[in-house]
């Protein structure tokens, strides 16, 4: 079974600085996709960024980028120029191709607090 690990209990960052949120994964699937979602205090889940296991380049979406290191099985989210509105919980997730792995599996999440 695939597994997502997010071990940082909580992160703090100063406004306008960059922050990296860690995510490691484990899977035996040859192909897979990695996702990051944001959950602000209002509770909704917001899709941020996607990385495919065979993508040649790291994904970027505005201030979000994904530091994908396939050999290390890590898919860290980098948020540049943090804003107060970035304070939220962030979930890493993955989807494989085989059987139950084809459903999106989430990590436990990381809380990010941006200080003014």
Partner 1 sequence: NAGVTQTPKFQVLKTGQSMTLQCAQDMNHNSMYWYRQDPGMGLRLIYYSASEGTTDKGEVPNGYNVSRLNKREFSLRLESAAPSQTSVYFCASSEAGRLNLNEKLFFGSGTQLSVL
Rule CB under 8 A: say whether 8 interacts with partner 1: no
Distance CA 57, CA 52 (A): 9
104 touches partner 1 (CB under 8 A): yes
Sorted by sequence, the CB contacts under 8 Å of residue 28 that are 6+ apart come out as: 2, 98
71 Cβ partners below 8 Å, 6+ apart?
A: none
**Binding-site member from 7, 14, 28, 31 for partner 1 (CB under 8 A):** 31
d(CA 67, CA 74): 8
One character per residue 39-68, x = contact with partner 1 (rule: CB under 8 A): ---xxxx-x--x-xx---------------
By CB under 8 A, residue 91 contacts partner 1: yes
How far apart CA 29 and CA 34 sit, in angstroms, is 12
Establish if 21 lies at the interface with partner 1 (CB under 8 A).
no
Binding site for partner 1 (CB under 8 A): 4, 6, 31-33, 35, 42-45, 47, 50, 52-53, 91, 93, 95, 97, 102-109
């Amino acid at each position: 079974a695939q597994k997502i690990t997010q071990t940082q209990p909580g992160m703090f960052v100063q406004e306008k600085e960059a922050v990296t949120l860690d995510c490691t994964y484990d899977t035996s699937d040859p192909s897979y996709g990695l996702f990051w979602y944001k959950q602000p205090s209002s509770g909704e889940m917001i899709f941020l960024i996607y990385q495919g296991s065979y993508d040649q380049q790291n994904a970027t979406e505005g201030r979000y980028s994904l530091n994908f290191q396939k050999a290390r099985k890590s898919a860290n989210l980098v948020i540049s120029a943090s804003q107060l509105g970035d304070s939220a919980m962030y979930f890493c997730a993955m989807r494989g191709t085989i059987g139950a792995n084809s459903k999106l599996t989430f990590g436990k999440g990381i809380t990010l607090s941006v200080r003014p």
